[in-house]
């Protein structure tokens, strides 16, 4: 990855052109030919540096409910618990963390009732009873792009 | 008295939410969202190629995306990196216990820190009184501790816990309007 790649990445993280020929538009911004921008973006994707290019949405504005959950899962139950939780497509992030509440996941669904029902089901099938449901009541910051 | 104010504020927030929720998304918007929540085809005219699948013109397709972006329904349109935190090797979720009447000031102050990428107030639960959450990024765990300490001193909140991710079980993008 060279400086031109970095400039391209910084440009397209938050502001990929919504234009007929986006790579030509990027080329104009960065003073590069369209073909070259396209070739470099393709290479960055092939190398796996760029995971995807597309839209990221406000779940709230799409009328979806979202939350952060934390569960106390005994070591021997972690595998089964994670399998059950990850079955839900609305679980988008799931991590093991260094706390007695050791499994933390985000959950997005059409409404909170769906999430509550899912958590009850997960509880029943895994025997894990300590699950916190911590929906956000206020957002102070979401930083969406990272300088590279 | 406080309860009455609390209720009024709560009602105001709910009304605001309802107003934003009334912003209509029609079936075509939903189809557009389904196509752009994945990965754009890697071709010179990606939007023309997607528009074709819906049987609409490229101009109409672009117009829909621009409108969704303007309304804040698309929060960001662009590239997601595999290692979003390129250059940072440690990140910690920090959960803070903040007195209810201080939360606004503290939340705003925390959001100003460069190393803080996300800052949310969240509901508490019985036996779980942490109500403010920040994601912080550093070069290593030690730096995360240092940043948290700096924030703690600056905003005067002493009760907090750093939660480092030890293993990733899942990381994906939400797929909306999937049946």
Global ipTM = 0.89
Cα separation of B67 and B59, whole Å? 12
> What are A21's two structure tokens?
């020929």
How many CB atoms are located within 10 Å of the residue B128 CB? 16
A114 and chain B in contact, CB less than 8 A: no
Among B82, B169, B174, beta carbon nearest to A95:
B169
> Which of B45, B74, B87 lies at the smallest CB-CB distance from A55?
B74
Residue A145 lies in a domain: no
Distance separating alpha carbons of residues B173 and B176, to the nearest angstrom: 9
Task: Tell me, yes or no, whether A93 lies in a domain.
Answer: yes
Please indicate, yes or no, if residue A52 is contained in any of the structural domains: no
Residue numbers of A between 60 and 89 with CB closer than 8 Å to B: 60-64, 68, 82, 85-86, 89
Pick the closest to residue B169 from A94, A78, A147 (CA basis): A94
Same domain, A41 and A74: no
Query: Does A72 lie in the same domain as A15?
Result: no
- Work out the number of other CB atoms within 10 angstroms of the CB of residue B9: 10
Q: Is A75 inside a domain boundary?
A: yes
Determine, yes or no, domain membership for A108: yes
Q: Residue A140 is nearest to which of B86, B119, B167, comparing CB atoms?
A: B119
Whether A25 maps to a domain, the answer reads: yes
pTM of the model: 0.86
Say if the Cβ atoms of B122 and A137 lie within 8 Å.
Answer: yes
Residue A34 lies in a domain: yes
Residue-wise pLDDT for A27-39, tens only, equals 999 999 999 999 9
Task: Please identify every stretch of chain A with a pLDDT value under 70, giving residue numbers as ranges.
Answer: 144-147
| Interface touch A86/B170, C-beta < 8 Å | yes
- Give residue-wise pLDDT tens across range B123-170: 999 989 999 999 998 888 999 999 999 999 999 999 999 999 999 999
Long-range contact set of residues A2-10: C-beta below 8 Å, sequence gap at least 24: A4/A30, A4/A32, A4/A40, A5/A40, A5/A43, A5/A44, A6/A148, A8/A37, A8/A40, A8/A41, A8/A44, A9/A44, A9/A49, A9/A50, A9/A148, A9/B79, A9/B81, A10/A145, A10/A147, A10/A148
Asked if A78 and A41 sit in the same domain, the reply is no
Number of domains in chain A: 2
Same domain, A88 and A120: yes
Position A38 scores a pLDDT of 98
A83 in the same domain as A38 = no
- Supply the range of the domain harboring residue A15: 3-46
Same domain, A91 and A120: yes
Q: Is A56 domain-assigned?
A: no
What's the CA gap between A59 and B158, in Å, rounded? 32
pLDDT for B1 equals: 42
Distance from CA of B62 to the nearest CA of A (A): 6
């Amino acid at each position: 990855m060279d400086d031109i790649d970095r400039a391209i990445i910084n440009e397209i993280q938050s502001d990929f052109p919504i234009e007929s020929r986006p790579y030509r538009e990027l080329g104009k911004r960065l003073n590069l030919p369209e073909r070259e921008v396209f070739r470099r973006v393709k290479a960055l994707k092939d190398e796996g540096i760029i995971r995807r290019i597309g839209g990221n949405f406000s779940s709230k504005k799409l009328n979806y409910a979202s939350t952060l959950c934390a569960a106390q899962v005994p070591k021997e139950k972690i595998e089964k618990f994670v399998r059950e939780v990850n079955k839900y497509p609305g679980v988008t992030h799931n991590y093991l963390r260094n706390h007695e509440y050791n499994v933390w996941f985000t959950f997005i669904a059409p409404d909170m009732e769906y999430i509550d029902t899912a958590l009850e089901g997960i509880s029943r099938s895994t025997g894990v009873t300590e699950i916190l449901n911590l929906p956000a009541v206020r957002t102070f910051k979401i930083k969406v792009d990272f300088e590279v | 008295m406080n309860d009455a104010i609390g209720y009024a504020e709560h009602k105001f927030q709910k009304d605001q939410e309802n107003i934003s929720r009334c912003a209509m998304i029609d079936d075509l918007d939903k189809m557009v969202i389904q196509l752009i929540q994945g990965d754009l085809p890697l071709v010179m005219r990606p939007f023309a190629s997607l528009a074709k699948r819906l049987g609409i013109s490229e101009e109409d397709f672009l117009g829909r995306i621009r409108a969704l972006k303007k309304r804040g329904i698309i929060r960001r349109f662009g590239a997601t990196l595999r290692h979003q935190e390129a250059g940072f090797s440690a990140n910690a979720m920090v959960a803070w216990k903040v007195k209810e009447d201080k939360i606004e000031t503290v939340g705003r102050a925390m959001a100003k820190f460069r190393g803080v990428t996300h800052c949310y107030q969240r509901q508490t639960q019985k036996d779980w009184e942490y109500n403010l959450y920040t994601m912080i990024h550093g070069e290593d765990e030690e730096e995360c501790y240092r940043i948290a300490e700096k924030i703690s001193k600056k905003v005067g909140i002493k009760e907090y816990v750093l939660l480092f991710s030890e293993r990733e079980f899942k990381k994906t993008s939400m797929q909306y309007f999937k049946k």
